[in-house]
Structure 1
Amino acid sequence: MDLRPLTKSQPVNQDKFEVSKILFGTSSFGGAFDEIENCSPFEAVSRALELGINAFDTSPFYGDSEQILGSVLSSLSDKYPRSHYYILTKVGRYGLNKEDFDYSSKRTRESVEEKFVDIDEVVGDGGVLIELFKLKFKSFGVKYLMNASPLSMALLTETAPPQWHPAPAKLRSIISKCASYAKENGFKISKLAIQFSLEWDGTDSTVIGLSNRKQVEEAITWFNEILARKRCEKNADKIEQIVVQEIQKIMGDWLNWCWEYPPTTIYQR
């Protein structure tokens, strides 16, 4: 495995968003995809920091993700102080259903307060909201572009997605065939999906949901393979290219299809 760190372990630039090419997504810490072992978040986060991932994405929508991430980072503060990484979180969505969306000022304030941050740091002079409004649109010149969910919420993996996944049954069946085809030819569909996302130079970073040390190391290794290809000005090997093309053929009309989430209709497609 090529586990060269993505970045050096050092304080991040708070005036610029100099994020690592892989951004650690913590949705799995809420237990939505797999049962989380007590040691997994600590091992995953500490290994990610060791390998140069300097940003973590969380949300109140992800169950206890914020609290688990905060606890792990706090326990690692001697080696990796708060100045060494970015934390991205969200407001507005707190559950699976449409009624769980709440963008009211009251709930937004409560959500900020839940993050144990002095409210004046957020809404006061020099606070984050003031700065966000200053940066809003920037004459339509978007400053940072992030990619996310290369595995389509655990759909593009070697195992079946969770029961709550919004993909229609027909699409699940087709992806299962794609995963089997990839395996028959010596590839993991999760690797093909992640590398397909990481290989594009148009984004600053890609958010990948990670839950344990192995997944962190795989993501770093797969990204380093892409860097090695670029240094040698090589594309993926011919067999890999054929496998990807065949998977796209198997997907047929479902290729690039998007689902509504949370769904308001039952899919019949």
Structure 2
Amino acid sequence: MAQNVCQSEFKPSEISYGAGALSGAYDAIADHWPVEACREALSSGINTFDTSPYYGRSEYILGDALEQLAPDFPRSNYYLQTKIGRYGYTPQDFDYSAQRTFESVAESMRRLKTDYLDSVLCHDVEFVDFEKVVGDDGALSALFQLKAQGKIKYVGCSGYPLPMLLKIAEHQAAAGQPLDVVLSYSHYNLQNTKLADYAPKFRAAGVRYLFNASPLNMALFRDAGPPDWHPAHEQLRAAAKQCSQVAKANDLNISSLASLFAFTGRATFQLNSTVIGLSRKEEVQQAIAAWKTAKAREQGTEQIPDIEANTLKEIHDILSPYKDYSWQSPTPKELGQA
């Protein structure tokens, strides 16, 4: 991954730094972690940072960390991607109006200590009415105005249901103003690979950059298990726990296996970048190591060990009843129904 980037073109690294992990929503973080993790990321060639106002103090923490690193890594060395529209847990906490979009982008620039943003996405588009996304006084209209003014460089959408993301992408293509970026999460991992099926459709709709977030399926595939708020049902949680135990029994780590699998998206369907949550220097190192292994295997310079291949087969068998299952989004809890 190239360390210095040209700001005239968006060339995201194959791993993007998921700064949602800096919010503390998954695990508590120590004060010194963000600077150390960001330094390790930039030194290793990661050049894209993804965040959102919804992720607690993530924008503030990331902005402070990058400011401290500016003598060694000036702004021209990396891309900043943030989001607008979602500011809380329930649909009532969304505001996709043009005015709020303008305000939100300005707020994000202040928090991130920058006078421009590389990419801004409508956050979790499935929570609001379609017209609030694509309408004349909606969020996308405002973002494209900001793009024309040079305050942001690329415009896109993020969300969970792939059909909704595709509907918006196809609408924008028909209107002659295609999305630059689509960020999908939890749809290319050990349990769900539907993004690979949708990728040609997004490309046909003019989407230039495809991002896959949450290769661990929002922490489902880690030894500690997912946080309590995770939307997966109990059967899938139990299956994921069983996968972790199978990996451990073979002296392997479920998170590493999940990362390795997700990184195959580059070769499988020309995925541009995988967004992985990183809060500590050690997590950055682990992600880079997994990516390098995936690249070596893609290039044929390294073979998958038999023990790993057999373990993956067992894991896929465990997950087969839930293959490509997508939970409801918004969830009943987010809708106030549970």
Normalising by structure 1, we get a TM-score of 0.88
Q: Give, in angstroms, the shift of residue 207 of structure 1.
A: 0.5
What does residue 237 of structure 1 align with?
A: 305
Please point out which of 146, 150, 164 is paired with 1:123: 146
1:22 equivalent in alignment to 2:15: yes
Q: Provide the alpha-carbon RMSD of the alignment.
A: 2.5
Q: What is the one-letter code of the residue matched to 2:84?
A: V
Please point out which of 261, 283, 286 is paired with 1:196: 261
- 112 and 157 in structure 1: CA distance in 2 versus 1, 3 angstrom threshold: same
Query: Structure 1, residues 56-77: CA drift from partner, whole Å, max 9, x if none?
Result: 0000111100010000001111
What does residue 288 of structure 2 align with?
A: 220
Larger deviation: 241-250 or 30-39? 241-250
Separation (CA, whole Å) in 2 of partners of 1:42 and 1:124: 30
- 105 and 176 in structure 1: CA distance in 2 versus 1, 3 angstrom threshold: same
Q: What is the one-letter code of the residue matched to 1:214?
A: E
Q: Give, in angstroms, the shift of residue 86 of structure 1.
A: 0.1
Separation (CA, whole Å) in 1 of partners of 2:97 and 2:89: 18
Q: Give, in angstroms, the shift of residue 228 of structure 1.
A: 2.1
Please point out which of 239, 245, 248 is paired with 1:183: 248
- 49 and 101 in structure 1: CA distance in 2 versus 1, 3 angstrom threshold: same
What does residue 3 of structure 1 align with?
A: none
Stretches of 4+ moved more than 6 A in 1? none
- 259 and 124 in structure 1: CA distance in 2 versus 1, 3 angstrom threshold: closer
Separation (CA, whole Å) in 1 of partners of 2:318 and 2:243: 7
Cα pair 2:115 2:151 within 8 Å, conserved: no
What does residue 153 of structure 1 align with?
A: 218
Q: Give, in angstroms, the shift of residue 88 of structure 1.
A: 0.3
- 262 and 16 in structure 1: CA distance in 2 versus 1, 3 angstrom threshold: same
What does residue 41 of structure 1 align with?
A: 34
Query: Structure 1, residues 112-141: CA drift from partner, whole Å, max 9, x if none?
Result: 12122669x973854246975986258723
Aligned residues: 259
Gaps of 5+ in 1: 1-5
Normalising by structure 2, we get a TM-score of 0.71
Give 1 or 2: higher strand fraction.
2
Cα pair 1:157 1:179 within 8 Å, conserved: yes
SS of 1:90's partner is strand
- 147 and 124 in structure 1: CA distance in 2 versus 1, 3 angstrom threshold: closer
Please point out which of 109, 133, 136 is paired with 2:178: 136
Gaps of 5+ in 2: 117-142, 156-171, 181-203
